[in-house]
Amino acid sequence: MQPRITLITLGVDDLDRALRFYRDGLGLATPGIIGEEFEEGDGAVAFFDLQGGLKLGLWPRRCLANDANLPMAAPSATEFSLAHNVASREEVDAVMAQAKHAGATITKLAHETFWGGYAGYFQDPDGHLWEVAWNPYWELEP
């Protein structure tokens, strides 16, 4: 298998609310919700373009469970996290403030880390965990 991730899909409880959080609150570009014409709304999804061809998808949790042939289960914020790495401590603080203003729950304030960086955590309205970090040992692509 090639280590190539092209799409990260988050199961959400309220697609409109999730769209507003990511588009209006965090400023991610999207054409909005598409596929609403499909029966029972199972095709309704929102996509966001990220860097390097990566896309973020928002899809109703029940649709994701149905498509994967899995029963609905209680969400768990500690199953995985998404990380947004930035170029400075100041950017960490700015992104954390933007997320809070958009309706995120700050679970850990930005702080100096044991590994020499600076990071904090927030949860989106559906409980998905995001880390915002500055790592002095990584160079970010422009």
Please state, in angstroms and rounded to a whole number, the distance separating the CA atoms of residues 32 and 26: 14
Does 142 map to a domain?
no
Residue 40 has pLDDT above 80, yes or no: no
Higher pLDDT, 126 or 78: 126
- Mean pLDDT, the chain, whole residue set: 92
CA-closest candidate to residue 62, choices 37, 87, 44: 44
Greatest mean pLDDT among 30-44, 63-77, 94-108: 94-108
CB 106 within 8 A of CB 122: yes
Q: Residue 124 falls within a domain, yes or no?
A: yes
76-108 pLDDT, tens digit each: 888 889 999 999 999 999 999 999 999 999 999
What's the pTM value of the predicted model, to 2 decimals? 0.88
Looking at the fold, whether 106 and 130 belong to one and the same domain comes out as yes
Residues 57 and 92 in one domain: no
Please give the radius of gyration of the chain, using alpha carbons only, rounded to the nearest integer.
Answer: 16
CATH number of the domain where residue 13 is located:
3.10.180.10
Q: What share of the chain is helix, strand, coil (3-state, %, to 5)?
A: 25, 30, 40
The total of structural domains in the chain comes to 2
76 belongs to a structural domain? no
pLDDT value of residue 36: 79
The boundaries of the domain holding residue 56 are 7-67
In a domain, 141, yes or no: no
Q: Model confidence at 27, in pLDDT bands (50, 70, 90)? A: very high
The answer to whether 110 and 120 have CB atoms below 8 angstroms apart is yes
pLDDT class for 41, splitting at 50, 70, 90? low
Residue that terminates a domain, selected from 67, 93, 112: 67
On the CB side of 38, CA atoms within 13 Å amount to: 9
- Whether residue 60 is found in the same domain as residue 33: yes
